[in-house]
Structure 1
Amino acid sequence: MNTIIAFILMFGLLVFVHEFGHFIFAKRAGMLVREFAIGFGPKIFSNKKNETLYTIRLLPIGGYVRVAGEDPEIIELKPGQHIGLEFNPDGAVNKIIVNNKSKHPEARVIEVEHADLDHRLIIEGYEIDEEEKLTFSIDPKAGFVMDEVETQIAPYDRQFASKTKLQRAMQLFAGPMMNFLLAAVIFFLLGMLNGVPADRAIIGNVVSDSPAEEAGFQDGDEVIRIGDTSISTWEEFTEIVRAHPEEELSMTVERDNEQVDVQVVPKSNAAQDQEIGQIGVQAATEKSLLKAIPYSVNQTYEWIKLILVNLSMLVTGQFSLDMLSGPVGIYDATDQVVQTGMLNLLMWTSALSINLGIINLLPLPALDGGRLLFVGIEAVRGKPIDPQKEGVVHFIGFALLMLLMIVVTWNDIQRLFL
């Protein structure tokens, strides 16, 4: 039960923060946000506030912010179509009833000759059996009612395509950016709660049954020299240890204001296709607000770099698709992390948040990176790509991503139960 709760809260937080980035930058740019959704599939909760429908959907595999004009608009009136009009107190149309007009007896029925719902916001037409052409002004927030479902119209200045390339790029980039920011905030909290590794080569903990314990290292020892090389930072210390697996090293440590010589042989471990030395010690930590800030930035950068390296290995064939994990694999890993404590769960959440941000920035159709690519192409060629063609590309990309998700999920299930 603890794992289920932790997974729901963690995954919900990651998706919410990501979509909130898209949402807030769309609002700031003046875009009409039709829906803010957590999950996909059938709605299990919905609430409309102001212009936006907030929903929680059945399948917890992501979320989305639906911005007017980001996909081709479905609101359209054709010549000869009979519609009903309702008006606000100022005489402007505030509801356009497309069908089921009998349910709106107060509506004024007209036959459409011409309609511009994007720029001029007018409808021209005739009342039934009348010859005089009438022109009606439309409220910029008028509703388009079809099958008793009302959708707010989106004048062109409220649509995604009407904004500058910078505004559109920022709205697309904001989701991944918020994931990186969330990771940095969590690393900052970890730095405050758990402490930040000390700059000096001070040992905070000696692992049981390790080469360091056998050599006689103690908690609090500060390594000041390895052989003839002076040591002043933890990085210098670990760099030498990693470079000398299975080789005896002579170290001098400062303990209770005295210098003590120890001999240790780093154990060899495989890491990223090379052998590195480890002696089984952890750095001492210190709690400092001023140090927690650069620590959070550095940890976020290091995780970004690590994930990018792993992605490059996937592209070059060093990793296979069988090594990828979907929701089932992430749930299983979360179950193992939960058992090790809250601090490790926070670290795991940071790693997943960074991973989500990077994956969404890949230049693949339907992902934020794919949409950013189209904005970039528009900037180069000086004009946008046909929205219909772009929509088809993103639809195909989304279908392929769902297929990949099914394959990865099946692999996860096989690893767990077979």
Structure 2
Amino acid sequence: MENGIGLGTLWDGGLMYIIPFLFVLTVIVFFHELGHYLVGRWCGIRSLAFSVGFGPELLGVTDKRGTRWKLSAIPLGGYVKFFGDESAASTPDREAVSAMNADERREAFPTASVGRRAATVAAGPIANFILAIVIFAAVAFVNGRTVADPIVADVVAGSPAEAAGFEAGDRIDAVDGNPITYFSDLQNYVSGHGEQPIVVTVDRGGRTLDLDVTPRIEERDDGFGKTYNVPVIGIIASGDASSFRTEELGPLQAFGYGVEQTWFVTTRTVDFIGQVITGRQNADQIGGPIRIAQVSGEVSNLGLGALLNLAALLSVSIGLLNLLPIPMLDGGHLLFYAFEAIRGKPLSENVQEVGFRIGLALVMMLMVFAFWNDLSGLT
């Protein structure tokens, strides 16, 4: 009889979620903060600390420039602290700044020009988008791209496609005048146009037909216990494996694919946020760390390529989240810098302090809401 917990039980009990989650989050956070650090350094701003995670330091090393590179205990984010910052959120230490000499002021973040500060702040989200492009491109270059020809295998009874006159065997050539190469091109186009009428050009036995169809919104399961609303027209690609093929991509083709996928995820994420605000999507789809850990664990079973693609998706999401014009986030700082550039001087300390407090409250509310959605999904 064995005593204790076996490795299989331990893995199934949590490690299968925790390890992929930490891998994904660490990669995303590291590159986000690396963007801040590198551009800040190029702008002549001295960095005091580069941390992956928050809280007590677990291990670290100080480089010759005086930057402390460290791994901290709470692996739910990270930060770069620049010279002259009071906190990891880049709120200025005004007492320290006022006591600086001329040489120190040239290296401090709060005394840098508004352009250098804006570039340093914007570099974090930009790094997230670059990371997503690189990951999508690398996975496509190694694994190729699985595609299917845009041929209708079947039409769902009672669907908008049936009402519009689609038939099995139709080959889709264009939608609203945009050429269609793969079946996924049509899916992506429909998913981004909601319930707006579209014109689909099909080839039917050598005849070209324009079919008017209006997608309808249907609820779908995402495979991880949540549902989402998606526009559909009701046509089905062939389920025959022979209808799908893998195309090898060269370096330039893979890069183009990475840019294309990153743009697609960006626009769909922005569209999703807009639909949540207008009530067309359920806000309970917004997830937090538990949700990310669950999805990371499930996706890791599909292989490294799938896990890397998830990292790319999350990198785009984190980049967009940080660009929201909320004080405490990068977008909030950029908003303050925009006002400063227009006015020719910074906003008053009181206004900035109130803004940071409001921003902190909004960020905390979003975190609590996402965490509540996570817990609700476990019941």
- Normalising by structure 1, we get a TM-score of 0.65
Q: Deviations over 1:253-307 (max 9, x none)?
A: 9xxxxxxxxxxxxxx9936244432224565332121321211111111111111
2:21 corresponds to: 7
Does the 8 Å CA contact 2:150/2:171 hold for their aligned counterparts?
no
- Choose which of 30, 48, 68 in structure 1 pairs with 2:83: 68
Which of 261, 266, 272 is equivalent to 1:310?
A: 272
Deviation at 1:344, TM superposition (A): 1.6
Q: Distance in 1 between matches of 2:43 and 2:172?
A: 57
Task: Kindly report which structure 2 residues correspond to 1:266-281, keeping only aligned pairs within 5 A, or say none.
Answer: 270=218, 272-281=230-239
Q: 2:294 aligns with which of 332, 342, 345?
A: 332
Query: Deviation per CA, 1:204-226, whole angstroms, max 9, x where unpaired?
Result: xx9xxx859xxxxxxxxxxxx96
Show the counterpart of 1:414. 376
Letter in 2 for 1:178: A
CA deviations on 1:340-391 (whole Å, 9 max, x unpaired) are 2222212111100100101100111100000000111111112111345424
Q: Aligned partners of 2:122, 2:363: CA distance in 1, in Å?
A: 19
Are the aligned partners of 1:179 and 1:356 in contact in 2 as well (CA < 8 Å)? yes
**Aligned partners of 2:141 and 2:248 also within 8 Å:** yes
Distance in 2, matches of 1:76 and 1:407, equals 36
SS of residue paired to 1:54:
strand
Query: 1:238, CA displacement in angstroms?
Result: 6.1
- Identity fraction in percent: 29
Structure 1 pair 334/252, CA: closer, same or farther in 2 (3 Å)? farther
Give a deviation string over 1:45-91, Cα, whole Å, max 9, x none: 233223212222222221111112342226559xxxxxxxxxxxxxx
The Cα of 1:192 is off from its aligned counterpart by 1.0
Contact 1:31-1:67 within 8 A present in 2 as well: yes
In the alignment, the residues of structure 2 paired with residue 66 and residue 409 of structure 1 have an alpha-carbon distance, to the nearest angstrom, of: 27
Match of 2:363 among 398, 401, 411: 401
Cα distance between partner residues in 2 of 1:302 and 1:241: 8
**Contact conserved, 1:242 with 1:278, CA < 8 A, in 2?**
no
321-330 or 178-187, larger mean C-alpha shift: 321-330
SS in 1 for 2:48: strand
Q: AA paired with 2:61?
A: N
Worse-superposed segment, 376-385 or 398-407: 398-407
Partners of 1:241 and 1:278 within 8 A in 2: no
The one of 89, 111, 115 equivalent to 1:162 is 111
Q: 1:285 to 1:269 in 2, by over 3 A?
A: farther
Alignment of 1:78-89 (within 5 A): none
Distance 2:55 2:300 in 1: 28
Compute the TM-score of the two structures, normalised by the length of structure 2.
0.71
Q: Output one character per residue of 1:284-342: Cα deviation in whole Å (capped at 9) or x when no partner.
A: 33212132121111111111111111011122233344221000111111122122222
Mapped to 1, the partners of 2:273 and 2:361 lie a distance apart of: 21
1:41 corresponding residue in structure 2: 55
Q: 1:283 to 1:161 in 2, by over 3 A?
A: farther
Cα distance in 2 between the residues matched to 1:309 and 1:176: 18
- Residue 287 in 1 paired to residue 248 in 2? yes
| Counterpart position of 2:164 | none
2: CA distance between counterparts of 1:160 and 1:307?
Answer: 32
- What RMSD, in angstroms, separates the aligned Cα atoms of the two structures? 3.5
AA partner of residue 258 (structure 2): S
Q: Which runs of 5+ in 2 are unaligned?
A: 1-14, 85-89, 156-167, 191-201, 207-215, 219-228
5 Å matches for 1:197-208?
Answer: 201=149
User: Bigger shift: 352-361 or 388-397?
Assistant: 388-397
Question: Does the 8 Å CA contact 2:125/2:319 hold for their aligned counterparts?
Answer: yes
Larger RCO (CA within 8 A; separation ≥ 6): 2
CA distance in 1, matches of 2:350, 2:109: 14
Q: AA paired with 1:324?
A: I
Q: Tell me, in whole angstroms, the C-alpha distance in 2 between the residues paired with 1:323 and 1:227.
A: 35
Counterpart amino acid of 1:118? M
Letter in 2 for 1:64: Y
1:44–1:58 Cα contact (<8 Å) kept: yes
* Distance change in 2, residues 1:3/1:53 (3 Å): same
Q: Rg larger in 1 or in 2?
A: 1
Whole-Å separation in 1 of the counterparts to 2:266 and 2:56: 34
The aligned runs of 1:49-60 (5 Å cut-off) are: 49=63, 50-60=65-75
State the alpha-carbon separation in 2 of the partners of residues 287 and 228 from structure 1: 23
What's the CA shift for 1:393?
2.0
Distance 1:229 1:410 in 2: 43
1:185 maps to a residue whose letter is V
1: CA distance between counterparts of 2:332 and 2:188?
43
Cα gap change, 1:228/1:315 in structure 2, threshold over 3 Å: closer, same or farther? closer
Matched, 1:193 2:154: no
The equivalent position to 1:19 in structure 2, one of 29, 33, 42, is 33
Q: Structure 1's 337 and 252: CA in aligned 2 closer, same or farther, altered over 3 A?
A: farther
- Counterpart of 2:76 in 1: which secondary structure? strand
Q: 2: distance between equivalents of 1:238 and 1:303?
A: 14
May I ask how many residue pairs the two structures share in their alignment?
310
